[in-house]
Amino acid sequence: MTDKFISIEGIAKRYPGANGGTTTVFENFWLSMNRGEFGCVIGHSGCGKTTVLNILAGLDEPSEGTVIVDGQGIEGTSLDRAVIFQGHALFPWRTVLGNVAYAVTSKWRKWDRARVKAHAQKFIDLVGLTGSEHKRPSELSGGMKQRVGIARALSITPKIMLMDEPFSALDALTRGTLQDEVRRICLETGQTAFMITHDVDEAIYLADKIFLMTNGPGAVLAEIVENPLPKDRGRIDLHRHPYYYALRNHIVDFLVSRSKTFAAENPGHDPRNVPVVRPGLVEPAIVAPPRAVDSNPSQAIAR
């Protein structure tokens, strides 16, 4: 990769275990992303996906290794890295505008009230909440609360938007709508995004790269799947693309079987050189239509 905007280098996470031992969630973990890419991490519960995100956010520290973002090593939290959690994490006593404005004033402390309000309003409009500025979280639906969280994260113009299963608690229709919004915003702004998800179709729709992790403890990054679908893909016709099922089946097969057997079947796996795959990239074979059956078998054989 020529532009390692995010570079996770050999990190490990260990916790004290029983009888004075330690439990290793993962170790020697390497991952990199380019500026403007959308990456999704998929793996079973317990493999350390959220731990990786928390370390990238500065909310947790690795037991060893380092994380570099835009050429700088991470030391604690930063407004350059905005996090959207599974729960909306809004201040219940603040309005929509107040929640977003709080983030804005955290980054630009010298701005006057009018400038803060105008800047916050821009992102409230961006996520489709115009007219709800003065509502409090108790007056909002689950999807609207997550929209506020997205507006708040984007309002501080972060270098990276980090998302930990932000749509998993929502109904299918709301989840789809917010996925559309996040995809639109990231494409329009060139936002770098790193997301944890259990939803294969969500990853296929949103991500440029899908990182597949094996089961924990002792999880490793097994594969980097480059999404072969076009950048301008749409939700409605996604499943009609000739690469779609090859991509989806590859990920599902990993989650169902290969994630459990990967370590035994790949004893020489090099965590610094994780294979990059692009399922379905070989052009689908064009099958010629069957020829009409000749009523005279002898003539057909002669031809």
pLDDT digits (tens, 9 = 90+) for 85-119: 887 789 999 999 999 999 999 999 999 999 999 99
- Average pLDDT estimate for 222-250: 92
Mean pLDDT calculated for residue range 127-135: 93
pLDDT at 170: 83
Q: How confident is the model at residue 280 (pLDDT cuts 50, 70, 90)?
A: confident
Q: What is the mean pLDDT of residues 232-237?
A: 88
CATH 3.40.50.300, the chain: domain bounds:
6-77+160-169+190-302
Instruction: Work out the mean pLDDT of the chain and round it to a whole number.
Output: 88
Give CA–CA dist 69/81, Å, rounded. Answer: 9
CATH number at 6-77+160-169+190-302: 3.40.50.300
Type and span of the H or E element at 223? strand 221-226
Give the strand pairing for 209-213 and 221-226: antiparallel
Say what the pLDDT of residue 3 is.
66
Query: Is residue 54 pLDDT above 50, yes or no?
Result: yes
**Whole-model pTM?**
0.86
pLDDT digits (tens, 9 = 90+) for 173-195: 888 988 998 898 899 889 999 99
Our measurement of the distance from residue 10's CA atom to the centroid of its chain's CA atoms, rounded to an integer in Å, reads: 20
Write out the two tokens for 158: 């972060």
Question: pLDDT grade, residue 292 (50/70/90)?
Answer: very low
What DSSP line would sit under 61-93, residue for residue? --SEEEEEETTEE--S--TTEEEE-SS----TT
pLDDT, residue 59, reads 93
Average the pLDDT over each of 53-57, 268-272, 282-286 and give the range with the smallest value: 282-286
pLDDT at 299 (0 to 100): 41
Instruction: Calculate mean pLDDT across residues 3-8.
Output: 88
Residue 237, C-beta contacts closer than 8 angstroms, at least 6 positions apart: none
Percent of all residues in the chain with a pLDDT value above 70, rounded to a whole number: 92
Span 199-223, average pLDDT: 93
Q: Output the pLDDT for position 237.
A: 87
Backbone angles phi, psi at 121, to 5 degrees: -60, -35
Place of tokens 């059956």: 293
